[in-house]
Structure 1
Amino acid sequence: MSERRFSQLDVFTAQPLRGNPLAVVHDATGLSESQMADFARWTNLSETTFLLPPTDAQADYRVRIFTPGGELPFAGHPTLGSCHAWLAASGRPQREGEVVQQCAVGLVRIRRDGARLAFAAPPLRRSGPVQEPALRAQVLASLKITDTQLLRLQWVDNGPGWMAALLPDAASVLALRPDFQAMAGLKLGVVGAHPAGGECQFEVRAFVPSLGVPEDPVTGSLNAGLAQWLIGDGLASARYVAAQGAALGRAGRVHVLAEGGEVWIGGDVTPVVSGTVTL
């Protein structure tokens, strides 16, 4: 065992304790996969990340991302939080103004968007309407809603396996009291529009009970997939803000921008804990 630098950050918020916490182990070289998985279960956060030297010459660092239930190929709030932690630990990107992260889904570009970091949404691995009647029935049972309340059901999978349900409005999203047993095996995002004129255009919730996270406070990967769908289908403008986490007492804000053929997912990152961990 050895002492390693450790950071815990709050992502998608400028105010501590209002976003999605992330644990980051710096210089994770030498840790086995089982040690990483054990530590992620111990932190019991939605994600814990481990920073490693890159194996791709184009990348600035490599990250492995674990939930209490297993490893993810990609996730958004760990991308922003890990990049912030890497930079704060004197990380120096190869390219001016851009950091390149290597993870299991491939290379992910991250840039500064004013005071925020923003990542380029990775391409969708699966998109289009969900056609399987059994999956639609499972979603209805899981969310405890009627068929008329489910306006659209769409694949927005950029690695984790996200499926997204569009509800009539933000109030419908916030009113959900899901049945997590019925949701077994699903990675389900839900979105609904807020009334025009407010700070946020959409309310989002994310449910992943199969990974040990019944509801995720704020979810970058889901919002990346949602943005590509909503903007691509003309359901959202090229720039908008999504709120997430209110049902858990959080106030996450996800800043979305479609520009030059790419979708960027941005958010504030607030350091909360720094020190060392013995692993």
Structure 2
Amino acid sequence: MLPFSQVDVFTDTLGLGNPVAVVHDADGLDEDAMAAFARWTNLSETTFLLTPTVPDADYRLRIFTPGGELPFAGHPTLGSARAWLEAGGQPRSGDRLVQECGVGLVAVRPDDDLLAFAAPERMRSGPVDPAEVEAVTSALGLHAHDVVTAHWCDNGPGWMGLLLRDAATVLAVDGDRAHLLGASGAHDKVGLVGLHPDGDVALEVRAFFPGGVGEDPVTGSLNAAVAQWLVAEGTLPDRYVAAQGTALGRRGRVHLERDGDTTWVGGRTVVGIRGTVAL
């Protein structure tokens, strides 16, 4: 029996964010057992807390979707950090903790009542080839005039980001068409973003993901890379809040901040389940 937590991330209300399943003390599990349990939870991600292999890290994290392992993902990073802290974890540094994962070391800091991670550098960036954009827009039922620009936002999961005309255009996309992305040969990890005209929320975000997930409720990795892209271009300010999950009846809120060369991605977290799991 291993300690187990389920944490709702990017929300202050259980049920309105994005849940992650967290298995503690998982050093005795092999990769096949981790992958099988992730398929069984059927959440967008399931994580496993392990002993770090480098002295600067507080813990090591492996992240699985129902379809396979990811080197990094945002909401699992924050949810796992919250679970680790609640289980009595003590950071080596007083003001932040350090997660070891597939992309290396990721810093996580408390920020008032938020946790925020330092976004890793993008593995791929720059404009997307127009033919690839056309394949995605066709699969999602969008028209060329709906897309302002497209950019690679790959910090591990492999996101393609499309800036659409506005938030309303993002919300109007039929999420049931997400399964057409991979089936049609289009890139299958796609983030749609659109600016809100006013209010406390600057950006509306939707993320489509393969492997049985479909539309992801709230996506830290995508928001991180979008901020690195659109803040650098001057489209968004150095500090803003993004909404995600609206089309799914969620109320995800992602807090983005550029501080020097670092982009911090923050959100509130709620531990909804505490117990043990028979693995």
TM range (shorter): over 0.9
- 2:119 counterpart of 1:118: no
Kindly provide the amino acid, as one letter, of the partner of residue 190 in structure 2.
L
How far off is 1:239 after superposition? 0.5
Kindly provide the amino acid, as one letter, of the partner of residue 121 in structure 1.
A
How far apart, in 2, do the equivalents of 1:260 and 1:188 lie?
A: 28
Unaligned runs of 5+ in 1: none
How far apart, in 2, do the equivalents of 1:181 and 1:199 lie?
A: 32
Q: Which residue of 1 aligns with 2:218?
A: 218
Match of 2:69 among 68, 71, 75: 71
How far apart, in 1, do the equivalents of 2:132 and 2:71 lie?
A: 23
Kindly provide the amino acid, as one letter, of the partner of residue 171 in structure 2.
L
Contact 2:178 2:215 (C-alpha < 8 Å) held by counterparts: no
How far apart, in 2, do the equivalents of 1:220 and 1:212 lie?
A: 19
| 3-state SS of 2:222 partner | helix
| 3-state SS of 2:178 partner | coil
Q: Which residue of 2 aligns with 1:138?
A: 135
Contact 2:91 2:98 (C-alpha < 8 Å) held by counterparts: yes
How far apart, in 2, do the equivalents of 1:182 and 1:117 lie?
A: 35
C-alpha offsets along residues 106-128 of structure 1, whole Å, 9 cap, x if unaligned? 10000011111000010011111
Q: Which residue of 2 aligns with 1:167?
A: 164
How far apart, in 1, do the equivalents of 2:32 and 2:11 lie?
A: 31
Q: Which residue of 2 aligns with 1:189?
A: 191
Kindly provide the amino acid, as one letter, of the partner of residue 240 in structure 2.
Y
Q: Which residue of 1 aligns with 2:209?
A: 208
| 3-state SS of 1:191 partner | strand
Q: Which residue of 2 aligns with 1:40?
A: 38
Unaligned runs of 5+ in 2: none
| 3-state SS of 1:257 partner | strand
C-alpha offsets along residues 175-197 of structure 1, whole Å, 9 cap, x if unaligned? 1014234310521000001112x
- 2:24 counterpart of 1:22: no
How far apart, in 2, do the equivalents of 1:38 and 1:172 lie?
A: 37
How far apart, in 2, do the equivalents of 1:181 and 1:270 lie?
A: 30
How far off is 1:30 after superposition? 1.1
Kindly provide the amino acid, as one letter, of the partner of residue 201 in structure 1.
A
Contact 1:138 1:182 (C-alpha < 8 Å) held by counterparts: no
How far apart, in 2, do the equivalents of 1:277 and 1:240 lie?
A: 38
Q: Which residue of 2 aligns with 1:237?
A: 237
What is the RMSD of the two structures over their aligned residues, measured on CA atoms? 0.9
Contact 1:141 1:182 (C-alpha < 8 Å) held by counterparts: no
Contact 1:7 1:274 (C-alpha < 8 Å) held by counterparts: yes
How far off is 1:236 after superposition? 0.1
How far off is 1:158 after superposition? 0.7
| 3-state SS of 2:180 partner | coil
| 3-state SS of 1:86 partner | helix
Q: Which residue of 2 aligns with 1:107?
A: 105
Contact 1:174 1:247 (C-alpha < 8 Å) held by counterparts: yes
How far off is 1:142 after superposition? 2.0
TM value normalised by structure 1:
0.96
| 3-state SS of 2:53 partner | coil
Q: Which residue of 2 aligns with 1:266?
A: 266
Kindly provide the amino acid, as one letter, of the partner of residue 257 in structure 1.
E
C-alpha offsets along residues 62-111 of structure 1, whole Å, 9 cap, x if unaligned? 00000011100000000000000001111111111110000001100000
How far apart, in 2, do the equivalents of 1:261 and 1:29 lie?
A: 34
Kindly provide the amino acid, as one letter, of the partner of residue 196 in structure 2.
H
How far apart, in 2, do the equivalents of 1:216 and 1:180 lie?
A: 11
| 3-state SS of 2:126 partner | strand
Kindly provide the amino acid, as one letter, of the partner of residue 188 in structure 2.
L
How far apart, in 1, do the equivalents of 2:263 and 2:247 lie?
A: 26
How far apart, in 2, do the equivalents of 1:81 and 1:182 lie?
A: 30
How far apart, in 1, do the equivalents of 2:84 and 2:245 lie?
A: 26
The count of aligned residue pairs is: 274
How far apart, in 2, do the equivalents of 1:181 and 1:240 lie?
A: 31
- Give aligned-pair identity as a percent: 58
How far apart, in 2, do the equivalents of 1:85 and 1:12 lie?
A: 14
